[in-house]
Amino acid sequence: MTSTNGHSSNGHSGNGHGGNGSVPEGSVIGGQRPEGIDNGEYGWSQIGVHDLVPKLGYREYWYPAIEANKVGRKKYGFFGSRYGTRVKMLGEDVAIFRGKDGRFGAVWNRCPHRGALLSFGRCEFEGTISCPYHGYTFDETGVCVGALTEGPESGLNGKLRVKSYPTKVVNGVVYVWMGQTQPVPIEEDIPEEFFDKNFIVHTYSKVWPINWTVTIENSGDSHNSYIHRFRMRRLLNMEAFRQLPAYWSGTRVVGETDNSMGIAPTVHAPQQAYFPLMDAKWPKRVWFRPLKAWRRGVKTFTGKPYTNEYRLPSLTRVDTRNRVHCRWAVPMDENYSMMFTFGIMKGRTWWDRFFSRVYFQTMWRYFQIKGINELEDLPVQAFDRLDPAAPQKLGTNDRAIIHWRRKMPFKSRDAQRVWGHDTDQQAAIAADALLEATENFQPQPEDTKVVGAAR
């Protein structure tokens, strides 16, 4: 199953781990690969992370590129010229600049004259960007409206073009469409709360040294009861003293739609379990956890029967009692992603807005985004800490991941619009493979009883 779907259409085959690309053979994490095992670009795994899911992301979607207030800041704060802003997304270099009437321009970051980076150019005239080299000036649609050093009579004026991408601004964030096909209405790709006046959405973004697929898979797996078991900050909210199952007995995919899947853990575990080969118990100590576990799965913010959701192209939503922690991983290149976190809460008054902002910038930002996602999840998954091309042995707890790798690609707009017309049949084949791969999964009679959900 080493399909090149997605890779070839992105033009990035031959650029991968341990193959003939930038990483020399044998230099992958973990040292020399054993002889006789495929050293190819896609690793050894039969159902590896990149087999069907494109390394550089699905393309036929709107993606958040940058917060609007970070685009084209004046050089010296309040005065000086405005410049373009450089953004890397889906393997491409993009120059973003302020257009007219609150719009934004996004163009390929290479001047069609001699290749200078347009993002370093000034916005000499409203709604345009001028190349920093010879001053050829482009509008939001990528048309050269004035080749400044060629003069007003230049034949290039109105004819020379740089590739441009459609943009939209929603809730203070610039979204860019990088697909090969016509953009869809943006409402199809952005969470519904973003357009609902009863909700407040706050934004945080940071570059993560990680391939986007790794962090998306993390949100549907069983790491919770190990990585997030105990940290000092859990003293604050008493979580350190609450019961936590020793392990998960499986994950289930629930609430599947055309562009999403709901993920729920199956937990039938004691607080402490005996592992006979080690003649030891894990966790080692539980006496300090007398409080009852939070049953997060029982009541969610949106009323859905699960807490974790994946949405195409690269969103995850953790739905807790009073808010949604929504993360959108935008692939920059193979090893880096721009990680957007959107904090979604209810509220509509100025007071709600003010209070939620303070809460988001303090508690939420430091304890959830930094404390959990950046300090607990990321360090084990960053590109020099986890090798997605290494062989993988998936188990019962990875059922949602298998589903995500095998089935969601066929539901993607890339498959529906670009890959070909036999996607339904391919999806059926993938579904069979999915069942086969998980035949050892034994649902328990009470497996709706969810305690201790994933983050």
| Cα–Cα dist 64/169, whole Å | 9
Strand partners, 211: none
Count interface residues toward ligand FES (CB under 6 A): 8
Q: Name the residue nearer to ligand FES (CB basis): 133 or 194.
A: 133
Between residues 158 and 379, which has the closer beta carbon with respect to ligand FES?
158
Residue nearer to Fe ion on the CB measure, 92 or 221: 221
CB nearer to ligand FES: give 154 or 203: 154
Nearer to Fe ion, 122 or 455 (CB): 455
Distance, CA of 72 to CA of 116 (rounded, Å): 18
What is the rounded distance in angstroms from the CA atom of residue 401 to the CA atom of residue 86?
Answer: 33
Q: Around Cβ 270, how many Cβ atoms within 10 Å?
A: 12
Partnered with residue 266 across adjacent β-strands are: 250
What is the C-alpha separation between 63 and 243, in angstroms, rounded? 39
Q: Which amino acid is at 44?
A: W
Per CB under 6 A, which of residues 101..140 are in contact with ligand FES? 111, 113-114, 116, 131, 133-134, 136
Residue range at the interface with Fe ion (CB under 5 A); choices 23-31, 53-61, 102-110, 377-385? 377-385
And the tokens for 116?
């200078």
State the number of binding residues for Fe ion (CB under 5 A). 2
The smaller minimum CB distance to ligand FES, of residues 119 and 412, is found at 119
Q: Does 229 bind ligand FES (CB under 6 A)?
A: no
Least spacing, CB of residue 379 vs Fe ion, in Å: 11
Interacting stretch for Fe ion, rule CB under 5 A, among 95-103, 112-120, 122-130, 370-378?
370-378
Distance in Å, CB of 129 to ligand FES, minimum:
11
From ligand FES, Fe ion, none, interface partner of 134 (C-beta below 5 to 8 A by class):
ligand FES
Considering beta carbons, is residue 34 or 155 the nearer one to ligand FES? Answer: 155
For residues 132 and 121, what is the distance between their CA atoms, to the nearest angstrom?
A: 4
Q: CB nearer to ligand FES: give 162 or 400.
A: 162
Please choose, from the candidates 284, 285, 296, 281, the residue with its C-alpha nearest in 3D space to the C-alpha of residue 241.
285
Residue 133 interacts, among ligand FES, Fe ion, none and using kind-specific CB cut-offs from 5 to 8 Å, with: ligand FES
| Binder of residue 116, out of ligand FES, Fe ion, none (CB less than 5 to 8 A by kind) | ligand FES
Rounded to whole angstroms, the Cα distance separating 6 from 61 reads: 14
Minimum separation from the CB atom of position 144 to ligand FES (A): 9
Q: Does 73 bind ligand FES (CB under 6 A)?
A: no
C-alpha span between 455 and 443 (Å, rounded): 22
Nearer to ligand FES, 133 or 247 (CB): 133
Candidate residues 12, 317, 399, 455; the one interacting with Fe ion per rule CB under 5 A: 455
Give the distance between the most distant pair of CA atoms in the chain. Answer: 85
Part in contact with Fe ion (CB under 5 A); list of ranges 104-112, 203-211, 371-379, 420-428:
371-379
Segment interacting with Fe ion (CB under 5 A) among 15-23, 113-121, 138-146, 375-383: 375-383
For residues 65 and 131, which CB has a smaller minimum distance to ligand FES in the complex? 131
Residue 377 within binding range of Fe ion, rule CB under 5 A: yes
Contact stretch for Fe ion (CB under 5 A) within 163-171, 193-201, 246-254, 372-380: 372-380
> Please, what is the minimum distance in Å from the beta carbon of residue 209 to ligand FES?
32
| Binding segment (CB under 5 A) for Fe ion, from list 19-27, 250-258, 307-315, 447-455 | 447-455
Q: Minimum distance from CB of 93 to ligand FES (Å)?
A: 15
Catalog residues that contact Fe ion under the rule CB under 5 A.
377, 455
Catalog residues that contact ligand FES under the rule CB under 6 A.
111, 113-114, 116, 131, 133-134, 136
